Structure 1
């Protein structure tokens, strides 16, 4: 018999609570000393919390989280809970994952492993292969939410991770911390392959050392032959991220990247699905930047029909970016989208847990997977 807490209304109730935490953030009294993420290319300004067996990334560093109604409380026995539920209920017990053991190691060159790759969620290793982007230095052209070079400026990472470095860290993360997948993203280089070459080279090096499912993330390469090359090198799933979908919003939020039209992306999705298979290609959709709910839902429907997983994530303003004061979306807005997209996924052959690797499989930055079983 299935566990009722993992299906139906109880699962959606958990999804609503996770959404509340992700749009409001959490006040963390110990924020200065915890292992959260500040800046960089991944779930920045966040820390990981495990709630009812689900590890989620929750904002704790940005301005919005400082005004959150939710607060982390630590008891004398070391247990952690989130207080501040609007219904006046008891605090919700959560777990704060310990710092990974591989963080204590360094490469032969003396580079900390944590400068090469970080643990996201509970068992996902993530790395940004190239910590710069052709558009970032000109903020009039860069993605307005992006903080890719902040961690580089702070000295917490290196500008380019070599394939051998990533492979070395991946092997240690699997051996010491039980990591189950690797997500590789990159700033966009000034080359027609859009980072696909670096993805392929790194995947081959990792797979030579450890059997670890890998997702690569890059912009659509000019030549579609790169999809086959990435697949043959060891990349199991691919992410190409739209972020926003309405034309006016794209021009405002992605001034440089919006030169790649939606139709160019959909052409690329079709080419990638032909190589990686249905459900092994995904895209980020950032809700709360101006796209209407209907636009995001209709785009998700089109993506699902062609075999692409629409990973809908609430926009979280990141400190130090042009959109640092942009409001996060409301819980009602997010839950409405999750419910609609969840129903679409529930009636398709695509699920987050069926992906080989990637952000959608991890699911820590979104509550969408908790709505996939909606009736």
Structure 2
């Protein structure tokens, strides 16, 4: 079913507003739950809106005060969205994937090995830990990688064999189209690239599924060639924040990998994976100004790197749980201009083979590329 949003701000603006302000559920008993904790989109719920699957915050502090309210789903699974009492659109909550009903021979639920993001993306965190996470003096202040582990919703280390088994089932049962492999940083040398290589190789041996790997820039650029040879089609190296003072405050340990190293690594990675197959996450709302985000994004686009700008979502239980999400007005200073820049450069999300930017569910950016 194709759903359309009838709102004066248009579908792109509505999506951006929802992702900044969040969504309240009118009836707490509707049985709609989001994803909490972990290394990806947390405290969110996937919904179908205006013909797209998007991730909307539902379990954050700001979402509790949102002017947007979703009604109880009707018999067809459709909910009204009201803003300050006025119906502005309708959404549909996707069904639970079939592969979640399965488990390994060891009794580990498949959902603890990999999860469905958006509607057709399989995502996993290879190592649900990080050398920086246990110390708030070094950890990224927004990170919740340990929360889902401590809650028993995932396992510490996903083996290549487990990942291959789950990926095959997800493709066969739920028509998954591509896969994201991220990881907590295990060391300060390859920074997770070795884990990505062995995991991607195992998955590609059993199913033809495009894979994006995500890690910090490794210490040696040879890892880009190794990851490509292992079957990784696209690569994400995530800046999150840009200016030195914001990086030092928000992610004091990761800030040790300086911006200049990222820029050099982007050049080396594009040479291996190709223009448009390397991307980076930039979290808007942490302190970088719109002008800074747009300026660095322009540099990245020139390099052939896709700057996936996403509104920051404060996650419960982290030091930034009460940090405000960016306002719709703040995002409106970035996304339309950035979308136009991407379109002019013909560096488009749908041309990426796999990954977060191709999925696009965590930002309205792709709606501004047209």
Q: TM-score range by the shorter chain?
A: over 0.9
SS in 2 for 1:36: coil
1:188 to 2:191 alignment:
no
Corresponding residue of 1:179: 176
* Structure 2 residue aligned with 1:73: 71
* 1:301 aligns with one of 275, 298, 301: 298
Please report the RMSD computed on the Cα atoms of aligned residues, expressed in angstroms.
1.8
Relative to structure 2, which stretch is displaced further, 250-259 or 24-33?
24-33
Secondary structure of 2:141's counterpart equals coil
Q: Output the CA distance in 2 between the equivalents of 1:166 and 1:11.
A: 44
- Measured against aligned partners, the alpha-carbon deviations of 1:129-179 in whole angstroms (never above 9, x if no partner) come to 000000000011100000001000001100000011011000000000000
Aligned partners of 2:53 and 2:361 also within 8 Å:
yes
Evaluate the alpha carbon distance shift between residue 297 and residue 108 of structure 1 in structure 2; reply closer, same or farther with a 3 A threshold. same
Cα displacement (A) at 1:64: 1.3
- Corresponding residue of 1:43: 41
- Give the TM-score, by structure 2 length: 0.96
Alignment check: 8 A CA contact 2:82 2:89 kept? no
Q: Is 1:212 paired with 2:212?
A: no
The question of whether the paired residues in 1 share the 8 Å contact of 2:30 and 2:73 is answered with no
Shift, 1:17, TM fit: 0.2
**CA displacement, residues 329-358 of structure 1 (integer Å, 9 cap, x when unaligned):** 010110220011111101003100000000
Change (3 A) 1:240 1:32: farther
Asked if the contact 1:129–1:160 (Cα under 8 Å) also holds between the matched residues in 2, the reply is: yes
Report deviation, 1:18: 0.4
User: Comparing 313-322 with 62-71, which one deviates more in the overlay?
Assistant: 62-71
TM-score, normalised to structure 1's length? 0.94
Q: Is the 8 A contact 2:69 2:83 kept in 1?
A: no
What are the ranges of 5 or more consecutive residues in structure 1 without an aligned counterpart?
none
Change in Cα spacing, 1:44 to 1:53, as seen in structure 2 (3 Å) is same
Report the count of equivalent residues: 366
Q: Return the match for 1:324 from 306, 321, 324.
A: 321
2: distance between equivalents of 1:173 and 1:243? 29
Shift of the alpha carbon at 1:82?
Answer: 3.9
Distance 2:214 2:138 in 1: 20
Alpha-carbon shift at residue 119 of structure 1 (Å): 0.2
Could you list the structure 1 runs, at least 4 aligned residues long, displaced by more than 6 angstroms after superposition: none
Name whichever of 61-70 and 167-176 sits farther off: 61-70
1:235 alignment counterpart: 232
Give the Cα separation in 2 of the matches to 1:191 and 1:111.
Answer: 30
Change (3 A) 1:249 1:218: same
Structure 2 vs 1, CA of residues 12 and 218 (structure 1 numbering), >3 Å: closer, same or farther?
farther
Contact 2:12 2:367 in 1 (8 A): yes
User: 1:78: Cα distance to partner?
Assistant: 4.1
Where does residue 120 of structure 1 map in the other structure?
117
Distance in 2 between residues matched to 1:339 and 1:301, nearest whole Å = 13
Unaligned runs of 5+ in 2: none
| Alignment partner, residue 52 of structure 1 | 50
Cα shift at 1:68: 1.0
Report if the CA contact (8 A) 1:183-1:359 is conserved: yes
Deviation at 1:11, TM superposition (A): 12
Q: 1:12 to 1:169 in 2, by over 3 A?
A: farther
28, 31, 34: which one aligns with 1:30: 28
